Structure 1
Amino acid sequence: MENGELPNGFGASPGSRRRAARVVVLDPLDRILLINASDPLHRNGPGWWEIPGGGIDHGESTEEAARRELWEEAGIAEAEIGPCVWFQRVQFSFGGWHFDQDEWVHIARCEGVAEGPQGLEALEVLAFGEQRWWTLEDLLEHQPRTIPYRMAEFLPHVIGGQFAGDPIDITPDEHHVARWHEQASPPKG
């Protein structure tokens, strides 16, 4: 990464939207794999839990990118990548960069063995922490900050195998984003 350029596939050219793929990966017990992360520029700031994913490289399909990201970020090589179940448009800042991004989210099934990261970008090495398999009950009980923001709202349908032919638009509204940021604030009082 020279002259402040983003790594290959990491960002989009100015004025364009970045294309990204993510993957909801479930094990045989219907637990979802999430990666704990935080912004490397704000190490003492609040973290979050996210599904694997990242930029789509030139010539890749969303499914190919989801498979590659699953290997790079979680070390899962053997997974059955299913259909794209969700789509979202998001804007966020991370590591000093601003992203305006379209995300396609696939579902995948695997045996539940994640070897850990196998090909992270330098910024991701600084951002990512532990990986953990979460039950839906744990997510609903603890309500951690997640990416996608609305994951817990739509996850029961995916786990139950109830997905439409076209991806569901889970783009967060202003109140979803505000709630996500409120979860990062210390309690008042």
Structure 2
Amino acid sequence: MALVRLRRSVRAIVLDEGDRVLLCRFVIPEPGGAVVVWAAPGGGVERGESVLAALQRELREETGLVIDGEPPHVWHQEVIDPGHAVDYDGVINDYFLVRTASFRPRGALSDDELAAENIEGFRWWGLREIAGYRGTDLFSPRDLATPLAALIAGRASGAVVRLGL
């Protein structure tokens, strides 16, 4: 039996005072053309790095947001798919809730460094916009509107919610 290698990642559900969520626009090259995916800011946990340190680093690098304290862990996602993360058989994403005032994302990474990570921009999205979106771009997770609605409404039980693809 082959060993499954999963990339460990952290992501932040960044909600502003209007309950809009900050998402990164990932443009992923594919053989048939690029795929656009809107996903929460974050990224890989480096060897020897704590989950909290990785979250703080990723938010600072990508968006410029500096967080204090330990935000609540709200979602967990495991995707087993060899094509999902380069050099891995899949990914484990742990999502943390970060509440903040709206801001213009501008992190420590240059535009070229962001592009090397397939990030081509940021946008604040309202829940209705996500739920009603009918374009060709994807969201991660695919049904982002459902767990996001529960999170915004405060219907979360305090337990970490397991997400699908």
Q: TM tier, shorter chain?
A: 0.7 to 0.9
The offset of 1:89, in angstroms, is: 0.4
Runs of 4+ in 1 over 6 A off after TM superposition: 120-123
Q: How many residues align?
A: 159
TM-score (normalised: structure 2)? 0.80
SS of residue matched to 1:158: helix
The offset of 1:73, in angstroms, is: 1.5
Assess, with a 3 A threshold, how the Cα gap between structure 1 residues 71 and 122 changes in structure 2: closer, same or farther: same
The offset of 1:60, in angstroms, is: 3.0
Select which of 143, 157, 165 maps to 1:164.
157
The letter for the 2-side match of 1:103 is N
Distance 2:27 2:146 in 1: 22
Corresponding position of 1:8: none
Give matches, 1:101-120, under 5 Å: 101-119=91-109
Work out whether residues 87 and 169 of structure 1, in 8 Å CA contact, stay in contact via their aligned partners in 2: yes
Distance 1:42 1:112 in 2: 37
The offset of 1:116, in angstroms, is: 2.0
Distance 2:9 2:111 in 1: 15
The offset of 1:112, in angstroms, is: 1.3
Work out whether residues 114 and 120 of structure 2, in 8 Å CA contact, stay in contact via their aligned partners in 1: no
The letter for the 2-side match of 1:134 is W
Give RMSD over aligned pairs.
2.8
Give matches, 1:39-50, under 5 Å: 39-40=28-29, 44-50=33-39
Moved more, 45-54 or 86-95: 86-95
TM-score (normalised: structure 1)? 0.71
Moved more, 75-84 or 25-34: 75-84
- Determine which structure has the larger helix proportion and give its number: 1
Distance 2:110 2:53 in 1: 17
Distance 2:113 2:31 in 1: 13
SS of residue matched to 1:130: strand
The letter for the 1-side match of 2:130 is L
Corresponding position of 1:83: 72
Q: Which has the higher contact order (CA 8 A, sep 6+)?
A: 2
Q: Does 1:150 align with 2:143?
A: yes
Corresponding position of 1:28: 17
SS of residue matched to 2:80: strand
Identical columns (%): 26
Distance 1:110 1:152 in 2: 20
The offset of 1:110, in angstroms, is: 1.3
SS of residue matched to 1:63: helix
The offset of 1:123, in angstroms, is: 7.1
Is there any run of 5+ residues in structure 1 with no aligned partner, and where?
1-13, 173-189
Give matches, 1:96-135, under 5 Å: 97-119=87-109, 124-126=114-116, 127-135=118-126
